[in-house]
Structure 1
């Protein structure tokens, strides 16, 4: 029998697979992919370039030893991650732990249930 965390990770893998079927910044799953990467890499912003297969990450690491100004984009450091398979890259970002499970539950609720229920309600109304 699977424990709740295993079920959550399995459902996240299914959602990741579904999100990678249409690689476009216009896709409804682009925000999901960005949020997952932001959570995993603990960054302030993420951009996915599907064409060149590059993920750009902006971290809030300071450039100097001065006091850290929280979320000052001018002080952010950009890093690039190249990938060959986005689905496998996103699946590799899944972690264990209470914080991760809470985040994944939120993502699953929003991207699996709410949009479908809203669309079903709009169609039947």
Structure 2
């Protein structure tokens, strides 16, 4: 029997597959959100034509209350991929905080809000 974390990761894998098959603004935003979370990045840009992911991340180990993001602390990283779907699936990890974030992604990008509204209308 699967536990809740396994079910969440399975549903997230389905959403990743769907997001790679249908290029839309929502799917792009979903992919960016997942990559930002995994890499702890400030900003992410995905270039589908060049098969690259550009990340802006903070290299500073100073506490956040000191200064959130200073330009001199930002580091640009470029990652090449051959299969975006597999790259995104490789970003999935286990843990309570990660599971909560994945649930929020599923709720926001898997049209759960729309399904709840539709079931309320039909009831």
Common topology (TM > 0.5): yes
Which of 90, 113, 118 matches 1:92? Answer: 90
Asked if the contact 1:56–1:80 (Cα under 8 Å) also holds between the matched residues in 2, the reply is: yes
Displacement of 1:28: 1.6
Look up the match of 1:11: 11
Residue 103 (structure 1) aligned with residue 101 (structure 2): yes
Look up the match of 2:77: 79
Displacement of 1:72: 2.6
Displacement of 1:34: 0.2
Asked if the contact 1:60–1:70 (Cα under 8 Å) also holds between the matched residues in 2, the reply is: no
Local SS of the residue matching 2:55: strand
Q: TM-score, normalised by structure 2?
A: 0.83
Local SS of the residue matching 1:59: strand
Listed as ranges, the gaps of 5+ residues in structure 2 are 61-65
Superposition RMSD in Å: 2.0
Listed as ranges, the gaps of 5+ residues in structure 1 are 63-67
State how many pairs are aligned: 114
